[in-house]
């Protein structure tokens, strides 16, 4: 039902639906993988619907593809900036109080922190280029005081790679686009497992370090 609603929304509203959904997907899980894969299939002409911009239908499939990718990347980057602002200005108190509405839980914050500690500066572009994980990068980036001047170009890079790649996959598969979407779900599960394991390792190291310091202080 959800898949049918999303594909119908993109099919009916094209570029504008892609922009809006990808903006939302930067801060909440909004099926960004399906949106871009289906957008690529739509641009190729393999599924029903047309790519329309400012009231004019784009007849060239190549330009339709470029339009879908640009709309997705711009929307995703704009949404990422909004997510960064939530994390930067609201901080932990805001997330602890209202985070559940954005699917941000204390455990996910810990996982995001582990992601940033594990990958350093490439955490932002890598996160936005990856399925599933990408919806939990923007807010933690603001929370952990990632500078906006550095965050925006890195987020734009990751968003562009993601949109370009998935739309290309949808274009190539055409009406069989859903097979790519299904495969990406398994990739996302693997990434989530990796993040969870990394978070556990980081927590264990912090705990061991804290206990060592306490033991040293007691010895003194």
pLDDT at residue 185 in the model: 53
Total domains in the fold of the chain: 1
pLDDT at residue 3 in the model: 62
pLDDT at residue 10 in the model: 83
- Distance of alpha carbon 175 from alpha carbon 42, whole angstroms: 9
The mean pLDDT of the chain is 77
Alpha helices in the chain (DSSP H): 2-25, 32-44, 61-85, 91-98, 106-119, 123-129, 138-143, 148-173, 177-219
Residues of the chain with pLDDT under 50: 181, 183, 186-200, 202-203
Nearest to 117 by CA among 21, 205, 7: 205
pLDDT at residue 86 in the model: 87
pLDDT at residue 52 in the model: 81
pLDDT at residue 2 in the model: 54
Domain enclosing residue 129, as ranges: 2-219
Contact 71, 25 (CB under 8 A): no
């Amino acid at each position: 039902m959800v898949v049918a609603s999303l594909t119908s929304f993109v099919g009916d509203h094209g570029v504008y639906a892609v922009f809006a959904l990808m903006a939302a997907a930067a801060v909440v899980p909004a099926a960004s993988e399906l949106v871009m894969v289906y957008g690529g299939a739509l641009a190729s002409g393999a599924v029903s619907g047309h790519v329309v911009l400012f009231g004019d239908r784009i007849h060239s499939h190549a330009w339709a593809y470029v339009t879908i990718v640009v709309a997705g990347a711009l929307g995703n980057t704009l949404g990422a900036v909004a997510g960064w602002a939530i994390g930067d200005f609201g901080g932990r108190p805001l997330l602890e109080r209202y985070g559940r509405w954005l699917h941000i839980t204390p455990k996910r914050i810990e996982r995001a922190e582990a992601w940033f500690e594990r990958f350093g500066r490439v955490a932002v572009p890598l996160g936005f280029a990856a399925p599933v994980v990408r919806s939990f990068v923007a807010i933690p980036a603001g929370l952990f005081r990632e500078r906006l001047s550095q965050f925006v170009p890195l987020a734009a890079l990751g968003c562009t790679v993601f949109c370009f790649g998935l739309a290309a996959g949808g274009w190539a598969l055409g009406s069989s686009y859903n097979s790519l979407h299904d495969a990406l779900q398994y990739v996302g599960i693997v990434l989530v497992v990796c993040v969870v394991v990394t978070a556990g390792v980081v927590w264990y190291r912090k705990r061991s370090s804290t206990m060592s310091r306490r033991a040293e202080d007691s010895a003194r």
